[in-house]
């Protein structure tokens, strides 16, 4: 196995900016543990704490009590915003996928740009956004199957819509002749996302490779594999 890629800059984590009013159920019992941002909205603190604990310990081994202690809130505050631990798990996935879906749509809708350029940007973006929210991504990959059937079905439907939008860029490039047509767009997308899903097994936030450089490399490999013989990449 290759040595883990290293980079010098710490990974960045997205943070909500809206402030939440103090929820029913009591005041915050103390400062959040584990470096949580005490000034962040209650919902964001709970999601951040759950994401970190689920990534480190696993969904099944993390209790609601541990989550609220790390977030610095009461159980009453948590149940004001989330119905259960399952709800937290689903929303951890949903918030990352929602971010990636908005960014993919913005890239895909730039119809005046060549489809190869849009596919390259979309591929790089999903890698960068995954690495910037790696706890959320790892929780999704490892624990999403533990959701109840109705929640799991909703998650899979959301993910399928994202993958279909990404695959549509490959299909468009094939239809116009800028990408090779002898490769299944489904297979190409599955291979690409398979690599994305393994990022958490080797990426280190203190290594030499930035999310942007990794994203650019992944995108380049995808485009080279799909290049038509006369495409100028």
Instruction: Retrieve residue 197's tokens.
Output: 């899903």
- Report all structural domains of the chain as residue ranges with CATH numbers, in order of start: 20-82 (1.10.10.60), 86-226 (1.10.357.10)
Contacts of 214 (CB under 8 A, 6+ apart): 5, 127, 128, 131, 199, 203
Query: How many helices, marked H, and strands, marked E, lie in the chain?
Result: 9, 0
Q: Model confidence over 43-91: pLDDT tens digits?
A: 999 999 999 999 999 999 999 999 999 999 999 999 999 999 999 999 9
**Nearest CA-CA partner of 117 in 230, 193, 223, 225:** 223
Q: Which helix (H) or strand (E) is 153 found in, with range?
A: helix 149-176
Residue 16 has pLDDT above 60, yes or no: no
Nearest-angstrom CA–CA distance, 181 and 149: 37
Residue 9 has pLDDT above 60, yes or no: no
This prediction has a pTM of 0.78
Q: How confident is the model at residue 146 (pLDDT cuts 50, 70, 90)?
A: very high
For 7, the 3-state DSSP assignment is: strand
Dump the DSSP string for 9-65: SPPP--------PPPSS----SPPSTT--TTS-HHHHHHHHHHHHHHHH-STT--HH
Rg (alpha carbons) of the chain, rounded to whole number:
20
Q: How confident is the model at residue 40 (pLDDT cuts 50, 70, 90)?
A: confident
């Amino acid at each position: 196995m290759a040595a883990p890629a290293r980079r010098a800059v710490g990974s960045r984590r997205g943070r909500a900016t809206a402030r939440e009013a103090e929820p029913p159920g009591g005041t915050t019992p103390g400062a959040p543990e584990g470096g949580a941002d005490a000034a962040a909205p209650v919902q964001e603190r709970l999601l951040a704490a759950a994401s970190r604990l689920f990534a480190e310990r696993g969904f099944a081994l993390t209790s609601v009590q541990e989550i609220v202690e790390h977030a610095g809130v009461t159980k009453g505050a948590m149940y004001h915003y989330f119905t259960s631990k399952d709800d937290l798990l689903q929303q951890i996935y949903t918030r990352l996928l929602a971010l990636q879906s908005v960014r993919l749509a913005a890239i895909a809708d730039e119809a005046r740009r060549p489809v190869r350029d849009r596919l390259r940007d979309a591929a790089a973006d999903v890698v960068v956004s995954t690495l910037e929210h790696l706890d959320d991504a790892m929780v999704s990959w490892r624990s999403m199957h533990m959701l109840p059937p109705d929640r799991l079905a909703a998650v899979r439907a959301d993910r399928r819509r994202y993958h279909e939008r990404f695959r549509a860029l490959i299909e468009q490039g094939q239809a116009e002749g800028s990408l090779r047509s002898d490769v299944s767009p489904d297979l190409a997308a599955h291979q690409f996302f398979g690599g994305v899903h393994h990022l958490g097994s080797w990426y280190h936030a203190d290594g030499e490779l930035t999310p942007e450089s990794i994203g650019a490399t992944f995108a380049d490999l995808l485009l080279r594999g799909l290049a038509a013989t006369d495409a100028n990449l």
